[in-house]
């Protein structure tokens, strides 16, 4: 791999992770309630996007071992954020659903995150904002390529 690609990869990671880290810290500071680790939040997001998803499918989506996701499910169920429902097609399998508390919490996270980033975007030049907009399709494709590489 040529050096410019390594430099580009490092800059992309630094920029994306930097945005996520700052937003995560600001959201934690602004929203009440206990902090959830990133892995728990990611599982809640997967269930939000895929109501009724099973543990094995969620594990594949997160690129985690099934027992790791089972542990996350147990913790989130005990916290009142996830609910297990029996799969009518296979009574041994569980289907995951968000609780109302999880939906409310995720809506608050989303509003706060979007508000923070929207406010920051208004402070950028039109040129910077246009560059970010232009880069989004490529970043989304990069995400898909990275996902495919792990499956």
Sign, Cα dihedral of 62, 68, 70, 74: negative
Q: Are 137 and 144 in contact (CB under 8 A)?
A: no
CB atoms within 10 A of CB 83: 17
pLDDT value at position 15? 93
Banded model confidence at residue 149, pLDDT cuts 50, 70, 90: confident
The pLDDT tens digits of the residues spanning 103-142 come to 999 999 999 999 999 999 999 999 999 999 999 999 999 9
pLDDT value at position 32? 82
SS3 breakdown of the chain: % helix, strand, coil, rounded to 5? 70, 10, 15
Q: Would you say residue 3 has pLDDT above 80? A: no
Q: What is the arithmetic mean of pLDDT over 84-108?
A: 91
The pLDDT tens digits of the residues spanning 28-70 come to 888 887 888 889 999 999 999 999 999 999 999 998 999 999 9
Higher-pLDDT residue of 104, 92? 104
Banded model confidence at residue 21, pLDDT cuts 50, 70, 90: very high
């Amino acid at each position: 791999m040529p050096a410019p690609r390594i430099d580009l990869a490092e800059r992309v990671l630094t920029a994306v992770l930097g945005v996520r880290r700052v937003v995560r810290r600001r959201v934690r500071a602004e929203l009440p309630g206990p902090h959830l680790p990133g892995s728990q939040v990611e599982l809640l997001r997967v269930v939000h996007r895929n109501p009724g998803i099973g543990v094995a499918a969620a594990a594949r989506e997160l690129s985690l071992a099934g027992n790791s996701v089972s542990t996350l499910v147990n913790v989130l169920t005990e916290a009142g954020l996830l609910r297990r429902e029996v799969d009518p097609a296979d009574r041994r399998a569980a289907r995951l659903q968000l609780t109302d508390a999880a939906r409310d919490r995720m809506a608050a996270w989303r509003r706060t995150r979007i508000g923070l980033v929207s406010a920051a975007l208004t402070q950028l030049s039109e040129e910077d904002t246009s560059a970010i907009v232009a880069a989004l399709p490529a970043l989304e494709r990069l995400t898909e390529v990275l996902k495919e590489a792990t499956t």
